[in-house]
Amino acid sequence: MGEEKIQIIQGDITKLEVDAIVNAANNSLLGGGGVDAAIHRVAGPELLEECRELHGCLTGEAKITKGYNLPVRYVIHTVGPVWHGGARGESEKLKSCYQSCFALSEVHKITTIAFPAISTGVYGYPIEEATQVAVKEAMNFLQKNSLMEKIIFVCFGEPVYQCYLETLKSFSHEEP
């Protein structure tokens, strides 16, 4: 239940016209590489100014800003865990990222949200494990929140795209 509201696409998250996009940031919230750099580049310098006022963000938590020059109302900045082999609470922290983003989406009445594959770039989280967490948390949230209309997972590249599709299929076929 809820999987019809989950969409998996390939592309650049900065191009999406949704209520909110999620940024895979670092603890400083002051920019970096990967999707973080792309988001700041398109949003413009005002995003960095607002981020400075937030005084960073703990791993697994999330903070919200406006979207500035992006075609979105909000950017939700979350900090994923760095992968150290899986025994240092990485999955709990990644789960907490998704839950923190969804909690903010409820507060701000966000109905469409797009996520990159948090932690799977520079932070080295294996994509198969990361997509399990992402899809599971999205489905859990959709079961208890009726306002959310669409959750989009934006994939950079075909392998990531295929991995999300497989994961969604496996969850959809699970017995309730």
Contacts with ligand AR6 by CB under 6 A lie at 12-14, 24-26, 32-36, 38, 80, 116-123, 154, 156, 160
Is the Cβ–Cβ distance between 162 and 25 less than 8 Å?
no
CB-nearer residue toward ligand AR6: 53 or 174: 53
CB-nearer residue toward ligand AR6: 52 or 109: 52
- The three-class DSSP label of residue 74 is strand
Catalytic residue among 21, 23, 36, 105: 36
- Establish whether 19 is a catalytic residue: no
Q: State the minimum distance, in angstroms, from the CB of residue 138 to ligand AR6.
A: 16
- 20: its two tokens: 């909110």
Is the Cβ–Cβ distance between 118 and 76 less than 8 Å?
no
Q: What is the DSSP letter of 82?
A: P
CB-nearer residue toward ligand AR6: 53 or 175: 53
**Other Cβ atoms closer than 10 A to 8:** 19
Q: State the minimum distance, in angstroms, from the CB of residue 93 to ligand AR6.
A: 11
Q: How far apart are CA 175 and CA 23, in angstroms?
A: 33
Show which residues are catalytic. 36
